Amino acid sequence: MNRVRRLFRSDASSNRLPIPPGIRRAQPFLKDTLFPAIRTMAPTLLALSLTSVAHAQGTMDFSGAQTLMTTFKTFAIYAGAVICFGGLIFAGIRMMSGRFQDAIPGLFGALFGAGVLGWGAGWIGSLTGQTMQ
């Protein structure tokens, strides 16, 4: 509360705001040196950035897309196999213990894994022109 009163004093002894000395020293440097330099260099930097963008036009290379899609296809094959195998193991353990009704979700999991393995990898391979191996 005392600080607020000091900022809004009515006596004429000092009407300056309490600014730390480091900030007072930095303000003339910014005003006298840095801001004019930024104003001078801004048009040049803008022109150089637009020139580099104009040169980049038409030089895009999509050869890495084939490799990326092959990686996705390999992941779909492995993920589908793991899901399918896991579902079969889950269902087999439930069936061996005599709980056939509890094995049904495992069989659906195996079916889902087979779908990922077959349709997922096949679809990704069709996008890149590759066939299933």
126-132: which pairs have CB atoms within 8 A and are 24 or more residues apart?
Answer: 127/69, 128/66, 128/69, 128/70, 128/73, 130/70, 130/73
Within this chain, do residues 35 and 85 fall inside the same structural domain, yes or no? no
| pLDDT tens, residue by residue, 44-57 | 888 777 776 666 56
The residue-averaged pLDDT of 24-36 equals 69
What are the residues whose beta carbons fall under 8 Å from the beta carbon of 124, sequence distance 6 or more? 69, 72, 73, 76
Q: What pLDDT is stored for residue 36 in this prediction?
A: 82
Within this chain, do residues 68 and 123 fall inside the same structural domain, yes or no? yes
Within this chain, do residues 118 and 81 fall inside the same structural domain, yes or no? yes
Nearest to 90 by CA among 107, 75, 69: 107
The residue-averaged pLDDT of 32-41 equals 81
Question: How many Å separate Cα 127 from the centre of its chain?
Answer: 24
Q: Which of 56, 71, 89 is the last residue of a domain?
A: 56
User: Is 64's pLDDT higher than 70?
Assistant: yes
Q: Which of 12, 34, 56 is the last residue of a domain?
A: 56
Within this chain, do residues 105 and 73 fall inside the same structural domain, yes or no? yes
Question: Which amino acid is located at 121 in the chain?
Answer: A
Q: What pLDDT is stored for residue 27 in this prediction?
A: 62
133 lies in some domain: no
User: Is 32's pLDDT higher than 80?
Assistant: no
The residue-averaged pLDDT of 84-93 equals 89
Within this chain, do residues 52 and 71 fall inside the same structural domain, yes or no? no
109 lies in some domain: yes
Q: What is the pTM of this model?
A: 0.46
pLDDT band at 80 (very low <50, low <70, confident <90, very high): confident
- Total domains in the fold of the chain: 2
Per the prediction, the chain carries an average pLDDT of 75
Within this chain, do residues 70 and 32 fall inside the same structural domain, yes or no? no
- Structural domain span for residue 99: 63-128
Q: What pLDDT is stored for residue 23 in this prediction?
A: 61
Within this chain, do residues 67 and 123 fall inside the same structural domain, yes or no? yes
User: Is 93's pLDDT higher than 60?
Assistant: yes
Q: What pLDDT is stored for residue 58 in this prediction?
A: 61
Length of the chain equals: 133
